[in-house]
């Protein structure tokens, strides 16, 4: 649990009770909701476990999805003793999301961390498509696409970390848009988390169909649906290609977060 062997909490942490989740939400709001939409979405549901540092105010926070893809989220001040203790114990090979201000702490641990800075983008309008439409059809996702979504490779189903199943995801009123060619989803833009007026979106295109405009097409259509639903889209760019695509469709930087994985085992 929480990236450490065993079922208990890490040192200095305890499982958060219902009355402490309000404090956790407040910690994430102060970070900037756009940089923590998935965590805020999962709080207060059965989609995550939450631990708080027992002796810090505001507390350091650990959030772990209960769905199949496990990605931790670590939130806390750079001077947090609880965060430093946790980073000294978390197992090698466990990936986690952290605020950018923790980068000096992470790199000082001496555990050969792989640190990926991820720009967070957003917009209040979508840029009209200026390219030739790719082959196939752009279709709003729904229950009829369950088999096609299930057929996507694991990389393409990463958004399910916030859900327990494809069926649960597709039952949402606004799951996203797919580019479909010969009854196969070749590209997908999903709304995989939402909190109040923000929707976190993500794009995946099968490698053999990249470079033909499918990613741009589904992103434009999905962003239109999100804005029409009076939500503000949030896009976390996991690499430079993702960042360029986000900017191409009208998104602009609003923050940054880190993806971290330690290569060296804990001492």
Is-contact 2 65, C-beta < 8 A? no
Q: Are strands 113-122 and 48-53 parallel, antiparallel or unpaired?
A: unpaired
Is-contact 263 113, C-beta < 8 A? yes
pLDDT at res. 68: 57
Is-contact 99 79, C-beta < 8 A? no
43-49 CB contacts, 8 Å cutoff, 24+ apart: 47/162, 47/163, 47/164, 49/1, 49/2, 49/15
The residue length of the chain stands at 267
Distance between CA 47 and CA 65 in Å, rounded? Answer: 6
Per-residue pLDDT of the chain (267 residues; tens, 9 = 90+): 788 877 778 989 999 988 899 999 999 998 888 999 999 998 867 788 999 998 899 999 999 988 756 578 999 999 999 999 999 999 999 999 999 999 999 999 989 999 999 999 999 888 776 678 899 999 999 999 999 999 999 889 888 778 888 999 999 999 999 999 999 999 999 998 999 889 999 999 999 999 999 999 999 999 999 999 999 999 999 999 999 999 999 999 999 999 999 999 987
Q: Which phi-psi region, left, alpha or beta, contains residue 230 (left: φ > 0; alpha: ψ -120 to 50)?
A: left
Distance between CA 98 and CA 60 in Å, rounded? Answer: 11
In sign, the C-alpha dihedral spanning 12, 15, 21, 25 is positive
User: Of 127, 101, 109, 128, which is closest to residue 35 (Cα–Cα)?
Assistant: 101
Global pTM value: 0.89
Residue labelled with tokens 């952290």: 98
Cβ contacts of 199 within 8 Å, gap of 6 or more: 37, 174, 191, 193, 226, 229, 231, 232, 233, 234
Helix (H, G, I), strand (E, B) or coil at 215: helix
Name the CATH superfamily housing domain 124-250: Gcn5-related N-acetyltransferase (GNAT) (3.40.630.30)
What CA–CA distances, in Å, run from 48 to 1, 98, 138, 175, 250?
11, 16, 32, 20, 32
53-56 CB contacts, 8 Å cutoff, 24+ apart: 53/12, 53/13, 53/80, 53/81, 53/82, 53/83, 54/12, 54/13, 54/14, 55/12, 55/82, 56/80, 56/81, 56/82
Distance between CA 55 and CA 72 in Å, rounded? Answer: 21
């Amino acid at each position: 649990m929480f990236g450490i062997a065993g079922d208990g909490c890490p040192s200095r942490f305890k499982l958060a009770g219902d009355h402490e989740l309000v404090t956790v939400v407040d910690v994430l709001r102060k970070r900037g909701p756009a940089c923590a939409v998935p965590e805020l979405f999962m709080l207060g549901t059965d989609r995550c476990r939450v631990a708080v540092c027992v002796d810090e105010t505001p507390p350091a926070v650990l959030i772990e999805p209960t769905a199949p893809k496990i990605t931790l989220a670590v939130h806390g001040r750079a001077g947090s003793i609880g965060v430093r203790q946790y980073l000294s114990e978390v197992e090698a090979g466990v990936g986690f999301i952290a605020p950018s201000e923790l980068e000096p702490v992470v790199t000082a641990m001496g555990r050969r961390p792989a640190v990926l800075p991820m720009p967070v983008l957003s917009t209040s309008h979508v840029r009209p498509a200026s390219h030739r439409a790719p082959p196939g059809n752009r279709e709003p996702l729904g229950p009829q696409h369950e088999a096609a979504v299930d057929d996507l490779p694991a990389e393409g189903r990463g958004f399910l970390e916030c859900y327990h199943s494809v069926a649960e995801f597709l039952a949402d009123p606004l799951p996203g848009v797919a580019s479909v060619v010969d009854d196969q989803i070749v590209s997908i833009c999903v709304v995989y988390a939402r909190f109040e007026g923000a929707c976190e979106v993500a794009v995946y295109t099968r490698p053999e169909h990249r470079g033909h405009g499918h990613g741009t097409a589904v992103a434009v259509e999905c962003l239109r649906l999100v804005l029409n639903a009076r939500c503000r889209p949030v896009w976390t760019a996991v690499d430079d290609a993702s960042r360029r695509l986000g900017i191409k469709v009208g998104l602009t930087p609003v923050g940054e977060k880190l993806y971290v994985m330690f290569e060296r085992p804990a001492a």
